[in-house]
Amino acid sequence: MRNHEEFVNEIYNRKETYLRNKKKTRKNIITFSIPFVLVAVLYSVMILPAMMPAGSEGTPNYEESTTVAADEFSHLTEVFTEPATSVKQPSLNSSPTSAAHSVPSDETAPTRPPEAVKPTTVSPEIFIELDRAEYKTDDKITLSITDTANVGFGYSKFVDLFEANGGEWVLKPNNHPKPAIAYEALPSSMRDEITVSFEIDLGEYENLKPSTQYKITINIEKQSYEAYFTVTE
């Protein structure tokens, strides 16, 4: 057994060791927790808002961004209100409408999509454009989707092609799986807008009729966006 002096010395030694270890532990905790905190902060500030669905209340500056975007893309909205038969310019705007209402009932106007004249329903966040207004049956269409920021979402959607037929839009089957768009949007705080382009090969669709109007629809965030073109000889 230790004598008194040794005993007291041992107490002080252990005190020093204890304090040293405590300091070391605290330092380690801080060292290891800082990266975690940073990641959590970055995740909540940058990634989470980007994952919010478009138009949700959690999206920062949503009100402001929609107004700005609506002003910025107003020319596209106007273009879209014109009858589809008169469209000659390559830029065709999208119009989000309910997919259930995408088939017109007016048989007398097969070349004019009835839902095209609804500028009030145009969402300012997403626009789809075709590179031309007329294509040949074996052409490739370049479709661009512009997301005007602050919506921030990633999506993977399929494209449908409809043919105007006696006042109705008839879905054209594709020889291959439907063309799909996929992109991961950047966090809204890191971009102003994002445009994604991809090609649709008309050669994959059988029996496209010349001088007939066609419609491309893409469903994004529960809304249908459309663009129109005509197939020529």
Closer CB to other proteins, residue 18 or residue 43?
A: 18
* 10 interacts with other proteins by CB under 8 A: yes
Beta carbon of residue 18, minimum distance to other proteins (angstroms, whole number):
6
From the list 155, 147, 97, 102, the residue with the least C-alpha distance to 122 is 97
Q: Which stretch binds other proteins (CB under 8 A): 9-17, 100-108, 153-161, 204-212?
A: 9-17
* 176 interacts with other proteins by CB under 8 A: no
Closer CB to other proteins, residue 6 or residue 199?
A: 6
Six token digits for residue 226: 């459309």
* 4 interacts with other proteins by CB under 8 A: yes
Q: Which stretch binds other proteins (CB under 8 A): 1-9, 23-31, 94-102, 155-163?
A: 1-9
* 26 interacts with other proteins by CB under 8 A: no
Closer CB to other proteins, residue 1 or residue 100?
A: 1
* 15 interacts with other proteins by CB under 8 A: yes
Beta carbon of residue 25, minimum distance to other proteins (angstroms, whole number):
14
DSSP single-letter state for residue 99: G
> Which residues lie closer than 8 Å to 162 by C-beta, 6 or more apart?
102, 169, 170, 171, 172, 214, 215, 216, 217
Closer CB to other proteins, residue 4 or residue 176?
A: 4
Rounded to whole angstroms, what are the CA distances from 29 to 25, 143, 182?
Answer: 6, 52, 41
* 180 interacts with other proteins by CB under 8 A: no
Beta carbon of residue 10, minimum distance to other proteins (angstroms, whole number):
5
Asked if 147 and 173 touch (Cβ cutoff 8 Å), the reply is no
* 100 interacts with other proteins by CB under 8 A: no
Helices marked H in the chain: 4-42, 48-51, 62-72, 74-81
Nearest-5° Cα angle at 200, 108 to 191: 105
Q: What residue ranges bind other proteins (CB under 8 A)?
A: 1-2, 4, 7-8, 10-12, 14-15, 18-19
